[in-house]
Amino acid sequence: FLPSQLSLLYKWLNSFPFLFLSGAGYHSESKAKEYKHVCKRACQRAVDRLKAGAFAVEAVAAALVELEDSPFTNAGMGSNLNLSGEIECDASIMDGKSLHYGAVGAISGIKNPVLVANRLLNEAQKGKLSAGRIPPCFLVGQGAHDWAVTHGIPPCPSEKMATKFSLSAYKRNKRKMELAEKMDTGHNQTKKRRQSSENENGSGCLDTVGAIVVDQEGNVAAAVSSGGLAMKHPGRVGQAAHYGCGCWAENACNMNPYSTAVSTSGCGEHLIRTMLARECSAAMQSEDAHQALLEAMQHKFISSPFLASEDRVLGGVIVLRCCRCVEAQPSQDIQGALVEFLWSHTTESMCVGYMSAQDSKAKTHISRLPPGAVPGQSLAIEGGVCRLMSIVE
């Protein structure tokens, strides 16, 4: 695999919240400006919420809403269409403080699936339902849609969620599938169909969005949202909805010295079979975060025995870990956190953005595999470190 690339960005800040978001797949040079602009808007929206006193889980949901509303991402508006020409979305969110989780899968007719996932999380925190029933944390299909509407989340016709780009991509993909079906039967047809499927589900179709946040209290949260693979079978649910696969967030405790938050993007089936979000979170308890993520991506993903039959393993992660500290100064106590934020991907590229409450604007970057690297067989890893400070009242 490729040599690791780690850039350390040391900053002293007097405000604590920090946001990090991403989407992995293929990001063309011609649309790089649009991708970065979307990331900046999402960062700003979340940081505004954090400055207003919102907790991490509220801020991470706000970031995802902004990303879902963009026609340039494969989440919410403009999502990939399935075989039937419909949009079905997946999303999940996790609160590192309560460890509660909410998710929806294959949901149609809802513009912002992450809001449904977040409402499921919030409702679960209220305790049992009537007659001692356990509240749901994961709903799918029509049941998820109906639950959302009854809980005040407005429906949106699927045809209004499709964009010119997603519709043209669907028509193009459908023509390719029809041509494949006309090919000669036998081994050659099977091989060509497999190649066609690989092309359609290559890294250009995998730009799931995700975000991770740490708030002023040191709580972490993570969320992810996706329209799924292009031309997927109706009812298919990807990693964005699966527990431990799409996102993970866990505050520090006696067993774990670090708070960690993770969000994944890429081929859902690959991420589900490796439970990559939870694997990366567990790896972050090691002393060297960079080395731990490098080894997790190599051994738990690219070379995973659960994916031994795959030629290309496509995915990406954003990871945040932090630990608290209090420094005594002559006139006041300074409460701070050392935050390490990393991203890694095997896809051709990954668009990332990050921002603290002290920053005037978000920083964005499109990470790419070096020239000659084979997507799905090589990885890139980058990241930084910052120290966030606040006054202890």
The helix-helix angle for 164-181 and 187-200 (nearest 10°) equals: 170
| Residue carrying structure tokens 């403080």 | 97
Catalytic residue among 73, 208, 260, 364: 208
Cα(211)–Cα(354) distance, integer angstroms? 9
Print burial letters for 128-159: b (CB count within 10 Å at least 16), e (below 16): eeeeeeeeebbbbbeebbebbeeeebeebebe
H/E segment holding residue 43: helix 32-51
Cα(359)–Cα(40) distance, integer angstroms? 12
Cα(359)–Cα(247) distance, integer angstroms? 25
Cα(344)–Cα(348) distance, integer angstroms? 11
* Inter-residue contact 228 to 90 (CB < 8 Å): yes
Other CB atoms closer than 10 Å to residue 33's CB: what's the count? 10
Residues comprising the chain, all counted: 393
Could you tell me how far CA 251 lies from the centroid of its own chain? 18
Cα(71)–Cα(165) distance, integer angstroms? 8
| Residue carrying structure tokens 């799905």 | 376
Find the DSSP H helices in 70-186: 113-124, 141-150, 158-161, 164-181
| Residue carrying structure tokens 């990939």 | 80
3-class SS at 38?
Answer: helix
Active site residue 364: no
Helix, strand, coil percentages (3-state) for the chain, rounded to 5, are 35, 25, 40
Task: List, by residue number, the catalytic residues.
Answer: 208
